[in-house]
Chains A and B, each alone.
Chain A
Amino acid sequence: MTDIAFPAARPRNSFFRRNRLVIMPLLFIAPAFGMFSLFVIYPIAQSIALSFIEWQGIGPKKWIGFQNYIMLFNDPVFWKSLVNNIYWLVLFLLAPVIGLFVALYLNQKVFGIRLIKSLFFFPFVVSQVVVGLVFTWFYDPAFGLIATILKPLGLQLPSILASEDWATFGVITAGLWPQTAYCMILYLTGLNSVNPEMVEAARLDGAKGWNLLVKIVLPQLRAATFIAIVVTVIGALRSFDLVAIMTEGGPYNSSNVLAFYMYDNAIFRYRVGYAAAIATILFLIMDIYIVWFLMRLLKNEKGTR
């Protein structure tokens, strides 16, 4: 962002004219920022305040300082959930990669391709409840699709969702399906704005295939990649729909994640303050990550302009 222009060529004397490059952006940003502050930032601040309180969600509140955090650090389920969140984060990053290749595969102009693209998008829009249900039935050790296919071959898979070692990975796999569709649509948009002349020029220089993708196309998809990674990270850290449907965090918390554990505490255990503390920690982890990411982005932009 070193690119701001000097004032317009013919300066006039009005105050607005002279300062328009400061006033205009503020005017542009104000409505969005106002709404966002009221409905999101302010409630976040309130939640953080709640994390120092013992509260059932209704009734009397009791200030307990850092007690919730101390309990949290002694809670094995918290640590287990944190570890699972890291699995989610790492494995979920497969979604942008696969999504890119799906988008490249579909970026053609053949008969019916629009319909096919729409159908590839389907996993993203169908309710997570049903996605969870169907994957549960895939894995079902007695009547599931995998079991049905493997049985005649004399093979048997461990019961994925009943196993404390495998349950998390079973849920992540289910989550990758819609997330990949999501990344695919981001890349399809990105591919539309790839400069065809640059690609052609590179082709004339003899670049092709993998080389062309890495050297010419990927840099132009930087914005799409960036957003795909960010939404995937958000998805990985927030994701609890599938956990709730497929395992409820079980067996015995082995597939729990922070977001679900937070929700579980707030809603089903009536421990709102404790839940707020979990949320605050999760929020901090995410923010450290995003600040680091943001710094890199801004540095990159400085470099390119």
Chain B
Amino acid sequence: MFPRPIQEASASRQLLYKIGLPISLVIWLLPMIAIIATAGRSLSDINYGNYWGIPSEWAFVDNFSAVFNSSPILWYLVNSVIITVPAIIGTLFLSTLAGAGLALYKFKGHFVIFAIFIAGNFVPYQILMIPVRHLTVNLGIYDTYWAVILFQMAFQTGFCTFFMRNFIAELPFELVESARSEGVSEWKILIHIIVPLVRPALAALAVLEFTFVWNDFFWPLILIQSDEIRPITLGLTTLKGQYISSFNLLAAGSLIAALPPVMMFFAMQRHFIAGLTLGASKG
């Protein structure tokens, strides 16, 4: 364990830690608290410049119900799930395979392929807008869930392959060697040895990717037109006006939109730990 478990420290340090934790949390989340407070402010307070003072009235209920009534936000949430979940599963599947392919074998062009996966990540993605829209039109998937799902799956695979390849390269290679010498097939090595060992990485990736895909607003904007299939990020932007923005509703809406990724992180933490114990017992 590093750092040393706090339970082994002196009682006074333990106390300090336990008091310090909530305090540091509050400081860290100060902007977050501001967002929550904004979600409860009336527009009139905001127009008065009362961003930080005590609100003249608490408008939480009004604001949240305005968000729910002014747009079909639950429906947008469903759309976000429909897009995000398959995109992540696909990405993780593709990149685990590719990551293992790049980490466990040496063959001609290995470096080039790896470099291409990484280089592709570095493109300022907005510039892909026109070609990618064109492509989805040609594939007949423009303005469908598939356009966003497939694009995200492909695009995120670059980063995930890079991540998985590095993680797998750090694993003790003797495991693979001994399995090979016993004649275990490469496919089985992947399923039975590699995949269990990369579980913490998969869990972390799932969280990160969930956040990326969930929060992405640009690609749905480019590839989706119909209101019925819009994800929440796109749906929420209509709270931003040409001249007038309902900042309070925007804050309320983004809090709702941010909950699923945080819950995802909360749920996935256990798997980081599970990955650890597995790794320790086998490695």
Contacts and interface: CB of A to CB of B under 8 A. Distances in A.
A134 B31 contact: yes
B81 interface: no
A223 B101 contact: no
B124 A140 contact: no
Interface stretch (A88-96, A143-151, A159-167, A247-255): A143-151
B166 interface: yes
Interface string A71-105: 00000000000000000000000000000001011
A144 B5 contact: no
B28 A120 contact: yes
B196 interface: no
Interface string B105-147: 1110011011111111111111111111001000000000000
A121 B265 contact: yes
B204 A110 contact: no
Contact of A185 (B95, B107, B124, B208): B208
Contact of B132 (A39, A134, A140, A193): A39
A20 interface: yes
B101 A40 contact: no
B158 A36 contact: yes
A110 B17 contact: yes
B98 A42 contact: no
Given A29-B98, A223-B170, A8 B180 contact: yes
A26 B279 contact: no
Contacts of B5: 108-109
A119 interface: yes
Contact of B52 (A137, A263, A276): A137
Contact of B211 (A107, A125, A189): A125
A192 B272 contact: yes
Interface string B235-269: 01100100000010011001101100110011001
B66 interface: no
B201 interface: yes
A122 B207 CA distance: 12
Given A9-B183, A223-B167, A4 B106 contact: yes
Interface in A160-217: 177, 182, 185-186, 188-189, 191-194, 196, 199, 203, 212-213, 216-217
Nearest to B155: A40
Contact of A5 (B115, B155, B163, B176): B176
Interface in A39-58: 39-44, 46-47, 50, 57
Given A122-B32, A130-B35, A223-B166, A10 B183 contact: yes
Contacts of A25: 101-102, 104-105, 107, 110
Contact of A22 (B98, B107, B130, B204): B107
B51 interface: yes
Given A25-B105, A125-B261, A185-B208, A43 B135 contact: yes
Contacts of A107: 1-3
A57 B105 contact: no
Contacts of A41: 116, 120
A291 B269 CA distance: 33
B151 interface: yes
Nearest to B283: A195
Given A143-B52, A266-B129, A40 B17 contact: no
B97 A39 contact: no
Nearest to B164: A32
Contacts of B38: 130, 133-134
B58 interface: no
B35 A125 contact: no
Given A25-B110, A114-B266, 4 more contacts: A5-B180, A39-B151, A47-B123, A125-B265
30 contacts: A4-B106, A24-B105, A25-B101, A28-B98, A38-B154, A39-B132, A39-B135, A39-B150, A43-B131, A105-B24, A110-B21, A114-B269, A115-B266, A117-B269, A120-B25, A123-B31, A125-B258, A130-B35, A130-B251, A134-B31, A137-B51, A143-B49, A144-B51, A145-B52, A185-B207, A222-B170, A230-B162, A238-B124, A259-B124, A259-B126
Interface of A: 1-5, 8-10, 20-22, 24-29, 31-33, 35-36, 38-44, 46-47, 50, 57, 102, 104-105, 107-110, 114-131, 133-135, 137-138, 140, 142-145, 148, 177, 182, 185-186, 188-189, 191-194, 196, 199, 203, 212-213, 216-217, 222-223, 226-227, 230-231, 234, 237-238, 240, 258-259, 262-263, 266, 272, 275-276, 279, 282-283, 286-287, 290-291, 294, 297-298, 301, 305
